[in-house]
Amino acid sequence: MKSTKFYHIALLILSVIMATSCSSNQKSDNVEKNVLENIATRVSVRTYLDKSVDDATIEKLLRAGMAAPSAMNRQPWHFVVVTDKQQLLALSEANPYAGMLTEAPLAIVVCGDLDRAIEGIGSEYWVQDCSAATQNILLAANAMGLGAVWTGSYPIKERCDAIAKALQLPENVLPLNIIVIGYPAGENFPKDKWDPKKISYNTYNNN
């Protein structure tokens, strides 16, 4: 009788373990699907609704940016959040490819703080670090139903100088880009950029 009771208890424990395992696997599959879908559906959005982005959402974007990898963990980024209409207009004039700033409610200017950059031969790694932070912000924006577009600044000196003047940046802080952000006006469809011809394994080849 006792053995039968223990047998049923063992079966119950096993079923719980299996159910937990299946649930964990399903959750893992869903996370993977959601992450990959978010990456695949990210698009550059240049038209926006007349709707502001709240502070809590902006903080989430910035937290995503700061979660990026950086060489030697120097984190040489500085983010300038711009919501003032006059400042957005000034930035649109500083960057000829950022004209959509006149209609957007938000811009995040991703800058490199050279005082926090690696010294010597790795000094330009700040560009890679801040680019990784930029991509994180773009993906976070897409996940939250926002539209965003990366507009480049560095290394074009005239553009960087104009942005630095508008934002009153110190000499050690260089603007890498302006991310224009808002709620999309209309639908935007991603491009299929998958191209096996651009892939090599182990050594470079053109096959």
pLDDT of residue 206: 64
Lowest mean pLDDT among 131-135, 159-163, 195-199: 195-199
Q: Is the pLDDT of residue 207 over 90?
A: no
CATH classification (class only), 55-182: alpha beta
Using CA atoms, how far residue 75 sits from 25, 121, 126, 143, in Å, is 34, 17, 8, 24
Query: Which residue ranges make up each domain of the chain?
Result: 1-41, 55-182
Residue range 75-119, pLDDT digits in tens = 999 999 999 999 999 999 999 999 999 999 999 999 999 999 999
> In sequence order, which ranges of the chain are alpha helices (DSSP H)?
2-41, 55-66, 85-94, 125-143, 157-167
pLDDT of residue 33: 87
Tell me the mean pLDDT in the region 47-76: 98
Q: What is the pTM of this model?
A: 0.86
Residue range 5-51, pLDDT digits in tens = 655 565 556 565 555 555 567 777 898 989 999 999 999 999 999 99
pLDDT of residue 60: 98
Per DSSP, what are the bridge partners of residue 182? Answer: 147
Tell me the mean pLDDT in the region 133-156: 98
Looking at the chain, the whole-number percentage of residues with pLDDT higher than 70 is 87
